[in-house]
Structures are given as structure tokens and as C-alpha cells.
């Protein structure tokens, strides 16, 4: 039955022993997980089954035939121990036993915390414990996708599912160690998706053909664009740009978050080209550097945008103005685009849009230039597979559908803006309301209220503005407020929740990982159920298919759970490399793992805590002093709800480095702050000198909303130079 309704791919089957006892430990995603596991081996498997399902009149005869072992999590400790002893006896008799260590089918889409019941079964027994990962089961009709079991149509028949059987681990492994083994197995399994992966625009076209009249986009100039209108607009735009983009494999785009910007990005992808969204906050020199690295010849932009933003283009770039292109798109072009969008095979559609290659999943989808907060911007090459893996991983945890509207305020040159405000919503049915500037708190509040926006994706820097300038009524429709790019302070979480009645949650990512690595999501609550998908003080759990490792920054040896060290990431979302910089790519990778440069730790349930960036430490008197920790305490003693102080390090002849605090507060309050800082319990090395507090009009912030660390250090160094000059004078 499973091989008829499902197309099973099974890897690592040889890890299940042909004879003798073994404990199988898989993740639990659907009601048919047991049937899928039975298809992996000819041996009988004895499952530990929840008592309520074992006693069901329709299921009980099958349970008895299969030798299922009933267990009730709500039963008495004696009854639970009896079930675990029976499982142990089955192992002693040389049978295969399977326990789902999560204890429940996941309703969140993520890997739940592992319970320690399996350790009772294997205690005192030297038998193999076999981790197993069931992939692509989430989304099947027997999983909890879209908030229900069974009552939905299958997306395809036969439905593809991959089952990966891992190398057996020791029977003395802890629940935490076994969970990490299953998580690493998930990364290996997701890599196998490449053969099934479609280019991004293929997924977009299929989504539009399925629901052509759903809401897709809106902005201040276009109050409503349906999915079909978006597809027609993108096809017509791609066809109109064929001549201007002729023979160019990579095209530049200089547009803010808007309907026009979204359609231009889709159009370039439909035409088989690699998009480069240029950062319009870095000035003409920054534009020149990125354009030359990417080999751009043209840039698609808007006269109105250039005038309002007061932007100057590099002289060698030929501008293509959207206002001029729109005038060439008549009724006939729109009808042609409609027919192509609804009926043309995808390969024909690509050719009609001017594709010069036949796009595949491994081809580059975009090049995103890093913000340059700690050094020169680098071109991060992301393939369709990188981006698609991230889209699907986010969708599995952050459940959205056509009833949701996302506020698109992060620019497309920001990796999170490109993914979460463009491809993620249009592929999974959510609408996007665009606004060009995340700093316009007033208009943003009005847009959220008018369109009943349900998902706000932003950064803590921008969130601070909304706390001060938006009303609770405007944010009444929000159900998810997700922040990233920088640490979300507790004081801001409390201020936002107190004002708007909703708690912001935090995610984590880097451009090199397409970009999401981990994310907190709303917990699942129902009668008799609680499945945590978020944890305060963390950035959430890794996406499905993403594996994390905490290592010693010097030796790269893995560290035990709960201990802070360098964070490494491995998964299908990890970049193809840096554009034209094989040397930098080699430095960023360690045996297939991406080196984030962040210091982090994992708790016992797999939630990730980012403590600081390695570059945001100062070595003072031989001891590592974290800038983020000092900033946190400074804001705490100052009672500041928004970011008003930033810490950096500058050279010091005696101790190696010294701390400098760049701030915007009244200078008369500094002595009092220092006194409170001394009483806070911080070591003396962590406390900056009073002379090292430098007042500025505003803290340096990048266009992405991150603190500009490089400029911050430059300001501090100039301050040091002026002090030294004054002493010499």
C-alpha cells in the first residue's frame, strides 16, 4: 500500500540489522509513520503505541497482529514502566522495537524535544540504537499541515517521501545526543531533495495557476494585485525587457520594496537570469563595487525612486527605467502574457520570456551583497535550491496561507527581505503589502490596519520606532511579529507586548545561509496538548534540514551541550560561495560546515542561544570581553527601551584593547550609569572608563537595520586619535 500511494526513497537500509535486537528511533510526523517504517525492512517491528489508539476498535486488531506495545503518557508510572519493560524484553528476544521519542505527532512542523523513555528501554543493554528521519511527510494528508489531519487533498499521487536510516549510536546516548543525531540526519536527507527541486519561478507559476484570484501584492500605488495579475505583469515585463537584457546572464535591480520591485525580480527569474538587488543605502562607491563584482551592464530602476532617494548611478551602468518599459506594454502584450501564464508549458514560458539558458535548481537564483558591517561587502551566490530549501523550511515551521498578509518593508537587497517578502509568500499563498521605507512608522501603522496584516517581519531597530509611534489599534490584526538581523532585547519585547498585546519572537540567519537558520514560532496549544516552538531568550530551533554544531573556536572540536562556542551550520541552504573570491569561500567553510563567526550554545531541547559575534569581543588583559553583554547591562541600568548605546573596542598599549561606548544619552547621566554598572556584578574589565563614553547625534545603522560595526569602530578610533592629539598638545 505504501509503495502504491507513495513514492518511497529509502537510504541507509543496511543500518537496520538483519538479526538481533535493535531500537529504532524516528521523528514523528504523521499517522502513517509506522506503515512507512514497515516498508524499510522485511523484519517485524514492534511499535510502542499510545494506549488510546491501541484501544480503538478499528486499530486494535492490527495492533495485536503487529505485536504493538501500548503505552499511556497519562497513565500511572507503574503502567508506563511495565510497557518499557515489555519493550526491553522484546529487544532481549532479538526483535526490532520502535519508539517515537517525541511522544506525539508534531503539530508545529519541527522536531519536538525528545523524552527520555527510550533510555529506560536500553538501560543495561548493549544494543544498537538506530536514528531515522522521515522527510517530506509533513505536507501529506496524514500530517497536521494546515491545522488538521486527513481532511485535505493530497498535493500529488504518488506522494514522494524519503526515509533515511542513520548509523547506529551507542545505547548509552542521552536524549539530547540522539536528537542531534536525528537532526544531522535531517540535513543529509534534505540534500536529496535537489533531484525533486524546481526553480523558484516554476513553483510561483504553479501556485498562481492553482489560486489565480488570491491576493498577491499591494503598495501605495497599487491597492490590490491578484496572483494572476502578478503573473501577467511579470511575464509582460520580462518580454518587454528581452532586448534590454539581451546576452546578460546577471541583471541589476535598484528598486525599493514595492509591487514594481517584486514584479521585476520575478520577471528576471522567469527569463532565466540571476538577479542582483543593489543596496541603495551605500552610496555611489558601494554601488560601483557591487556592480563591477557582478559584471552588471544595466540596472532596472525608476526615475521617481532615484529622485526621491537622491541616488546617483555609476557612470558605466545603463539605466532601464520602469516608467519607460510600462509604456511599451499594451493590451496585446497583456493578453499574450495571460495566455502564456495560464496555458504555456514552463519551458516554453521561459523561452518566450527571453531565457538564454534552461534554469535548473543548481543554477544561481540571486547574488546578495553582504551589508559590510564588519568588512568589505561580498557577493553571496545563492542557487535556486538554496533559496527553495529555505522557503520550504520556513514554511514548515511558520504556517501561513491565503488568509495571511505579510508586511514587506525589508529591502530586496536584504537577504531576509528577498526571501520572506517575495518568494516565501508568493509560493505559499500569502499576500504581501509593500512599503519602501521601514522608518515610516505612521504610514506603516496605517497599512497594517487597512490591509489587516497578520505577519510583521522586521528588525529590533525598526520595532523600536513602532513602539513609540504606532497605536495598539493599528496592530490589532497581527498574529506573528518576527525579528532578526540583530539581538532582540528583553526590554523591547516587554515594551512591545505591553503596548500591543503580542510578544515579538526572534529568528536568526545570515546571508550565506539564504538566510534563515533558526526561528521561534507560535507554540501549539490545544486541549491535552502543548508543543513548544519558541523559547524566551533564544532565536528558536533550526529549520528542518539544517544542522548545527557548537565547536571550540580554536580547535573546532565539538563542545558538550549547554557550552558556548563557535556556531557552524550545514544544510541545503548554505551558499554556493562568494562571487569571485574562492579564498574567502575556503575560509568561511570547514569540512562542509559554514563558519558563522557567531558565539552560541544549544540548550537541552535544541533551542539556539546567540551570545555574541566573535568579532564583537575585545581581548583585555588576556580575557575575552563580549560587547553585547556590556551593551545589555548598560541599557538595563539606564532603563532604556530602545538602543541608545553601542560598545566597540579600540587598541590599548597596556591591556591590548579598551572599551568605548558610543551613545546618544545626556552626558550628565554617565557618572550615575557607571556607578550602577559597578554595582551590577560585572567584572571590572567589562566596565568602560568614563572618558571612553562618546556622545553622537545618532548611532550608525545600516540600511538593513543592523548596527554598522565598522563605522562604530571608526568613530571610536577618531575619538581616540583626538584624545591622543590633545595629550600631545
Does the 2-195 domain belong in CATH 3.40.1130.10?
yes
CB 122 within 8 A of CB 46: no
For 257, half-sphere exposure in the C-beta direction (CA atoms, 13 angstrom radius) is 31
Question: Does 723 have pLDDT greater than 70?
Answer: no
pLDDT of residue 447: 95
Domain regions of the chain by residue span: 2-195, 200-602, 621-728
Segment 33-62 mean pLDDT: 87
CA nearest 463: which of 494, 428, 418?
A: 494
CA nearest 515: which of 706, 712, 292?
A: 706
d(CA 49, CA 29): 14
Higher local confidence (pLDDT), 434 or 374: 434
- Output the 3-class SS for 452-506: CCCEEEECHHHHHHHHHHCCCCCCCCCCEEEECCCCCCHHHHHHHHHHHCCCCEE
Which DSSP state fits 271?
T
Which grid coordinates are listed for 694? 562618546
Which grid coordinates are listed for 46? 514492534
Q: How far apart are the first and last CA of the chain?
A: 88
Supply the Cα-derived Rg of the chain in whole angstroms: 27
**200-602: CATH, from 3.40.190.10, 3.30.1510.10, 3.40.50.12780, 1.10.490.20:** 3.40.50.12780
For residue 717, name the pLDDT band (cuts at 50, 70, 90).
Answer: confident
pTM of the entire predicted model:
0.85
What architecture is domain 621-728?
2-Layer Sandwich (3.30)
Segment 291-315 mean pLDDT: 92
What mean pLDDT is reported for the chain?
A: 89
pLDDT of residue 728: 59
The region of weakest confidence among 31-40, 298-307, 421-430, 473-482 is 31-40
Is 52 exposed, middle or buried (CB count within 10 Å of its CB: 0-12, 13-18, 19+)?
exposed
pLDDT of residue 635: 87
d(CA 495, CA 595): 34
**Three-state SS for 614?**
helix
pLDDT of residue 373: 47
Segment 143-160 mean pLDDT: 81
211 is catalytic: no
Question: Does 197 have pLDDT greater than 50?
Answer: yes
Kindly list the distances between the CA atom of residue 8 and the CA atoms of 14, 162, 628, in Å, as whole numbers in the listed order.
16, 6, 48
pLDDT of residue 615: 63
Helix (H) or strand (E) holding 71: strand 69-71
pLDDT of residue 243: 93
Which grid coordinates are listed for 554? 580554536
Which grid coordinates are listed for 461? 531597530
CA nearest 169: which of 23, 21, 12, 11?
A: 23
Can you give the length of the chain in residues?
729
Phi, psi dihedrals of residue 176, rounded to the nearest 5°: -65, -45
For residue 597, name the pLDDT band (cuts at 50, 70, 90).
Answer: confident
Higher local confidence (pLDDT), 520 or 58: 520
* Cα 497 off chain centre by: 23
d(CA 376, CA 64): 65
pLDDT of residue 456: 96
Residue-wise pLDDT for 444-486, tens only, equals 999 999 999 999 999 888 898 899 899 999 999 999 999 987 7
d(CA 680, CA 629): 12
Contacts of the segment 61-68: beta carbons below 8 A, 24+ positions apart: 67/95
Q: What percent of the chain has pLDDT over 90?
A: 58
Residue-wise pLDDT for 527-580, tens only, equals 878 999 999 989 999 999 999 999 998 899 999 888 889 999 999 999 999 999
pLDDT of residue 374: 46
d(CA 363, CA 369): 18
d(CA 398, CA 213): 23
Residue-wise pLDDT for 610-660, tens only, equals 887 666 777 676 676 778 788 888 888 888 877 888 888 888 767 778 888
Residue 515, preceding peptide bond in cis (omega within 30° of 0): yes
Segment 355-368 mean pLDDT: 91
Question: Does 148 have pLDDT greater than 90?
Answer: no
Other C-beta atoms closer than 10 Å to the C-beta of 592 total 9
pLDDT of residue 729: 57
Residue 375, preceding peptide bond in cis (omega within 30° of 0): no
Question: Does 720 have pLDDT greater than 90?
Answer: no
pLDDT of residue 162: 94
CA nearest 449: which of 494, 383, 405?
A: 405
Higher local confidence (pLDDT), 377 or 404: 404
Phi, psi dihedrals of residue 390, rounded to the nearest 5°: -70, -40
Active-site pick, 3, 15, 28, 627? 28
For residue 58, name the pLDDT band (cuts at 50, 70, 90).
Answer: confident
Other C-beta atoms closer than 10 Å to the C-beta of 56 total 13
Amino acid at each position: 500500500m505504501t509503495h502504491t500511494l507513495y513514492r518511497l526513497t529509502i537510504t541507509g537500509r543496511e543500518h537496520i540489522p538483519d538479526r538481533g535486537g535493535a531500537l529504532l528511533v524516528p521523528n514523528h510526523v504523521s499517522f502513517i509513520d509506522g506503515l512507512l517504517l514497515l516498508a524499510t525492512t522485511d523484519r517485524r517491528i514492534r511499535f510502542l503505541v499510545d494506549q488510546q489508539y491501541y484501544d480503538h476498535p478499528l486499530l486494535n486488531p492490527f495492533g495485536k497482529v503487529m505485536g504493538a506495545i501500548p503505552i499511556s503518557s497519562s497513565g500511572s508510572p507503574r503502567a508506563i514502566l511495565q510497557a518499557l519493560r515489555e519493550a526491553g524484553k522484546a529487544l532481549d528476544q532479538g526483535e526490532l522495537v520502535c519508539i517515537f521519542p517525541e511522544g506525539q505527532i508534531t503539530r508545529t512542523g519541527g522536531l519536538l524535544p525528545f523524552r527520555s523513555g527510550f533510555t529506560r528501554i536500553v538501560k543495561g543493554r548493549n544494543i544498537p540504537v538506530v536514528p531515522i528521519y522521515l522527510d517530506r511527510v509533513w505536507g501529506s494528508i496524514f500530517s497536521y499541515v494546515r491545522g488538521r489531519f486527513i481532511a485535505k487533498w493530497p498535493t500529488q499521487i504518488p506522494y514522494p517521501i524519503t526515509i533515511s536510516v542513520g548509523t547506529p549510536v551507542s545505547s548509552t546516548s542521552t536524549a539530547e545526543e540522539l536528537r542531534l543525531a536525528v537532526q544531522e540526519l535531517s540535513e543529509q536527507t534534505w540534500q536529496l531533495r535537489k533531484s525533486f527541486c524546481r526553480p523558484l519561478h516554476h513553483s510561483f507559476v504553479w501556485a498562481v495557476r492553482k489560486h489565480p484570484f488570491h491576493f498577491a501584492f499591494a503598495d501605495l500605488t497599487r491597492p490590490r494585485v491578484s496572483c494572476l495579475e502578478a503573473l501577467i505583469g511579470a511575464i509582460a515585463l520580462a518580454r518587454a525587457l528581452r532586448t534590454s537584457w539581451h546576452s546578460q546572464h546577471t541583471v541589476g535591480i535598484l528598486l525599493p520594496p514595492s509591487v514594481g520591485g517584486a514584479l521585476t525580480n520575478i520577471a528576471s527569474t522567469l527569463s532565466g537570469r540571476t538577479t542582483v538587488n543593489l543596496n541603495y543605502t551605500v552610496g555611489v562607491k558601494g554601488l560601483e563595487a557591487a556592480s563591477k563584482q557582478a559584471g552588471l551592464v544595466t540596472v532596472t530602476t525608476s526615475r521617481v525612486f532615484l529622485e526621491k532617494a537622491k541616488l546617483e548611478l555609476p557612470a558605466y551602468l545603463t539605466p532601464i527605467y520602469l516608467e519607460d518599459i510600462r509604456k511599451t506594454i499594451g493590451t496585446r502584450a497583456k493578453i499574450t502574457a495571460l495566455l502564456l501564464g495560464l496555458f504555456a508549458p514552463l519551458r516554453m514560458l521561459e523561452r518566450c520570456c527571453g531565457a538564454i539558458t534552461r534554469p535548473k535548481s543548481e543554477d544561481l537564483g540571486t547574488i546578495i551583497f553582504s551589508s559590510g558591517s564588519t568588512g568589505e561587502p561580498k557577493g553571496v551566490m545563492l542557487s535556486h535550491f538554496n533559496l527553495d530549501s529555505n522557503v520550504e523550511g520556513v514554511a514548515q515551521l511558520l504556517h501561513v496561507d491565503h488568509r495571511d498578509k505579510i508586511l514587506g518593508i525589508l529591502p530586496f537587497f536584504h537577504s531576509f527581505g528577498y526571501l520572506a517578502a517575495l518568494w516565501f509568500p508568493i509560493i505559499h499563498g500569502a499576500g504581501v503589502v509593500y512599503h519602501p521605507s521601514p522608518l515610516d512608522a505612521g504610514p506603516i501603522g496605517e497599512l497594517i490596519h487597512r490591509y489587516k496584516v497578520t505577519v510583521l517581519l522586521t528588525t529590533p531597530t525598526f520595532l523600536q520606532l513602532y513602539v513609540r509611534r504606532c497605536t495598539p489599534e493599528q496592530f490589532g490584526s497581527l498574529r506573528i511579529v518576527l525579528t532578526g538581523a540583530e539581538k532582540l532585547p528583553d526590554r523591547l519585547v516587554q515594551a512591545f507586548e505591553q503596548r500591543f498585546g503580542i510578544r515579538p519572537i526572534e529568528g536568526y540567519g545570515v546571508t550565506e545561509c539564504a538566510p534563515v537558520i533558526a526561528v521561534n514560532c507560535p507554540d501549539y496549544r490545544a486541549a491535552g496538548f502543548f508543543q513548544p516552538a519558541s523559547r524566551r531568550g533564544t532565536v528558536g530551533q533550526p529549520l528542518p534540514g539544517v544542522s548545527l554544531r557548537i565547536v571550540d573556536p580554536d580547535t573546532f572540536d565539538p563542545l558538550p551541550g549547554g557550552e558556548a562556542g563557535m556556531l557552524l551550520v550545514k544544510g541545503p541552504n548554505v551558499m554556493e560561495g562568494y562571487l569571485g573570491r574562492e579564498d574567502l569561500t575556503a575560509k568561511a567553510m570547514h569540512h562542509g560546515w559554514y563558519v558563522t563567526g557567531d558565539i552560541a550554545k544549544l540548550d537541552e531541547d535544541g533551542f539556539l542561544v546567540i551570545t555574541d559575534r566573535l568579532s564583537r569581543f575585545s581581548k583585555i588583559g588576556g580575557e575575552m570581553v563580549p560587547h553585547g553583554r556590556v551593551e545589555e547591562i548598560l541599557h538595563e541600568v539606564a532603563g532604556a527601551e530602545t538602543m541608545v548605546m553601542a560598545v566597540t573596542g579600540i587598541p590599548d598599549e597596556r591591556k591590548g584593547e579598551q572599551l568605548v561606548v558610543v551613545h546618544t544619552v545626556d552626558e550628565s547621566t554617565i557618572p550615575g550609569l557607571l556607578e550602577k554598572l559597578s554595582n551590577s556584578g560585572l567584572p571590572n574589565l567589562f566596565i568602560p572608563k568614563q572618558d571612553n563614553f562618546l556622545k553622537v547625534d545618532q548611532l550608525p545603522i545600516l540600511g538593513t537595520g543592523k548596527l554598522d560595526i565598522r563605522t562604530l569602530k571608526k568613530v571610536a578610533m577618531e575619538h581616540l586619535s583626538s584624545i591622543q592629539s590633545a595629550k600631545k598638545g
